[in-house]
């Protein structure tokens, strides 16, 4: 892209300025010049003469020593501003803050004490059903075992065994009879295994009234917490994580307004200390810069010219 600037100076003092053929005023021309080049001439626009650029130029000159300190200062000042804002909000909403902090602290304590585990409700409900229906479970297990392998001749295993014997008598007469015999044998062996397992479960069952009371109480607690904080245990656990996060953001349950004030004051002191260090670095750099510019002015036969930096 090309930029053609044309300026006509008339004897009557009238000026006509065009940028790529478009009429512009002196203010617009100055703004364009800021982005293009420094014009070094007496009483003309110079970057050195722009007051808003002075600190930037000084910082650029001292960048090696100043930049690390300046970065730390910006971080420290940002931390101070955040703490100051938090403190201001707390003071403006002291009562609401305290009430919310109390509520979150209570919820966190309640949920931490409950120590819920994912999937716990399903396991307890199954155990509750077994314990609360202990007698029915025991009777039906016993009945099942008797029907499968009882002392009378018509139990299931005896009946199936007779069917096995009958099919074994004809399995040599064809492949389909052999297949039937194999299938009925497999059923017989499965029934034997099932009978043994039912007997084992039956013999292992014990009724524990204290355990039933504990499971019932635990389920009531879980359902109470679900009514407050979520439809399932996983929802309640998710709510607990949010509570812990909010408590951490509020400074924790033990941090008072006084503690936050002290923390804010310390952050301000840290920022001020770094600001003082920056000032000293700039002051030293300003002296060196003034000396170098004075030397350059002497080379331009401007021995009596003076240059100093004030900030």
| Assigned domain for 13 exists | yes
Mean pLDDT of 4-10: 76
Q: Is 301 or 198 the better-scoring residue by pLDDT?
A: 198
User: 15 φ, ψ to 5°?
Assistant: -115, 140
Kindly state whether residues 23 and 54 are assigned to the same domain.
no
What residues have CB less than 8 Å from 246, skipping those under 6 apart? 104
Taking each helix axis from N to C end, the angle separating 156-168 and 134-149, rounded to the nearest 10 degrees, works out to 30
Q: Is residue 104 part of a domain?
A: no
How many domains would you assign to the chain? 3
The backbone region for 4, taken as left when phi is positive above 0, alpha when psi lies in -120 to 50, beta otherwise, is beta
Residue 237 lies in a domain: no
- Judge if 54 and 142 occupy the same domain: no
What does the alpha-carbon distance between residue 169 and residue 180 come to, in Å, rounded to a whole number? 11
Query: In this structure, how many other beta carbons lie within 10 angstroms of the beta carbon of residue 271?
Result: 20
List C-alpha distances in Å: 31 to 25, 38, 213. Answer: 10, 12, 84
Q: What is the mean pLDDT of residues 32-57?
A: 59
The Cα–Cα gap between 204 and 134 comes to: 12
Do 278 and 73 form a contact (C-beta atoms < 8 A)?
yes
| 143 in the same domain as 73 | no
- Evaluate if residue 207 carries a pLDDT over 80: yes
Same domain, 266 and 172: no
- Do the strands 5-9 and 15-19 form a parallel or antiparallel pair, or are they unpaired? antiparallel
Assess if residue 222 is contained within a domain. yes
Same domain, 203 and 137: yes
Quick one: 268 and 172 in the same domain? no
CA distance 22 to 268: 52
pLDDT one-digit tens code per residue, 233-255: 999 999 999 999 988 888 754 55
Residue 175 lies in a domain: yes
Same-domain check for residues 23 and 66: no
174 belongs to a structural domain = yes
Q: Does residue 225 sit in the same domain as residue 125?
A: yes
Q: Are residues 222 and 166 in the same domain?
A: yes
What is each CA distance from 228 to 102, 235, 239, in whole angstroms?
Answer: 16, 11, 10
Strand, helix or coil at 11? coil
State the pLDDT confidence band at 47, using cuts at 50, 70 and 90: low
User: According to the model, what pLDDT value does residue 74 have?
Assistant: 92
How high is the pLDDT of residue 46?
55
User: Which comes out higher in pLDDT, residue 140 or 58?
Assistant: 140
CA distances from 250 to 37, 122, 130, 222, 247 (A): 52, 35, 46, 28, 5
Least trusted range by pLDDT, from 56-60, 219-223, 233-237, 248-252:
248-252
Determine which of 35-44, 65-74, 217-226, 242-251 has the lowest per-residue pLDDT on average: 35-44
Which helix (H) or strand (E) segment holds residue 17: the answer is strand 15-19
List, in sequence order, every residue forming a beta bridge with 15; answer none if it has no partner. 9
Within 10 angstroms of residue 76's Cβ, the number of other Cβ atoms is 19
Query: Measured between alpha carbons, how far is 9 from 27 in angstroms, rounded to an integer?
Result: 16
Report, as an integer, the average pLDDT of 66-92.
Answer: 89
Q: pLDDT tens, 130-168?
A: 889 888 989 999 999 989 988 877 899 999 999 999 999
pLDDT of residue 97: 80
pLDDT at 66 over 80: yes
Question: Do 200 and 132 lie in a common domain?
Answer: yes
Distances (CA, A) of 82 to 91, 260, 268: 14, 11, 11
132 and 216: one domain? Answer: yes
Q: What average pLDDT does range 265-288 have in this prediction?
A: 90
Using 50, 70 and 90 to split pLDDT, how confident is the model at 87?
Answer: confident
Q: How confident is the model at residue 311 (pLDDT cuts 50, 70, 90)?
A: low
**Are residue 137 and residue 186 in the same domain, yes or no?**
yes
Range of the domain at 72: 50-92+256-311
Residue where a domain terminates, one of 229, 244, 265: 229
- For residues 215 and 237, give the distance between their C-alpha atoms in angstroms, rounded to a whole number: 20
Domain membership of residue 248 (yes or no) is no
Asked whether 142 and 202 are in contact (CB, 8 A), the reply is yes
15 falls within a domain? yes
- The reported pLDDT for the residue numbered 217 is 95
| pLDDT-derived band at 4, boundaries 50, 70, 90 | confident
């Amino acid at each position: 892209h090309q930029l053609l600037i044309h300026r006509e100076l008339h004897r009557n003092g009238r000026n006509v300025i065009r940028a790529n053929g478009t009429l512009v005023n002196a203010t617009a021309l100055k703004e364009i010049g800021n982005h293009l080049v420094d014009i070094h001439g007496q009483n003309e626009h110079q970057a050195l003469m722009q007051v808003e650029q002075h600190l930037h130029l000084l910082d650029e000159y001292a960048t090696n020593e100043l930049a690390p300190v300046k970065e730390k200062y910006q971080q420290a000042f940002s931390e101070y501003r955040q703490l100051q804002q938090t403190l201001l909000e707390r003071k403006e909403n002291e009562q609401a803050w305290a009430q919310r902090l109390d509520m979150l602290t209570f919820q966190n304590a309640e949920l931490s004490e409950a120590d819920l585990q994912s999937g716990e409700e399903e396991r307890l409900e199954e155990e509750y059903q077994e314990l609360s229906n202990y007698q029915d479970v025991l009777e039906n297990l016993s009945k099942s075992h008797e029907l499968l392998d009882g002392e009378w001749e018509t139990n299931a295993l005896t009946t199936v065994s007779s069917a096995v014997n009958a099919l074994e008598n004809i399995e040599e007469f064809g492949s389909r009879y052999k297949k039937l015999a194999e299938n009925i044998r497999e059923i017989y062996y499965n029934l034997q295994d099932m009978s043994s397992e039912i007997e084992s479960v039956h013999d292992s069952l014990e009724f524990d009234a204290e355990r039933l009371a504990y499971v019932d109480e635990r389920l009531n607690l879980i359902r109470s917490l679900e009514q407050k904080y979520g439809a399932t245990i996983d929802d309640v656990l998710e709510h607990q994580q949010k509570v812990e996060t909010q408590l951490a953001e509020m400074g924790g349950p033990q941090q008072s307004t006084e503690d936050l004030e002290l923390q804010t004051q310390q952050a301000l002191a840290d920022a001020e200390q770094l600001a003082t260090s920056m000032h000293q670095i700039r002051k030293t750099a300003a002296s060196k810069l003034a000396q170098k510019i004075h030397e350059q002015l002497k080379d331009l036969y401007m021995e009596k010219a003076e240059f100093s930096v004030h900030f």
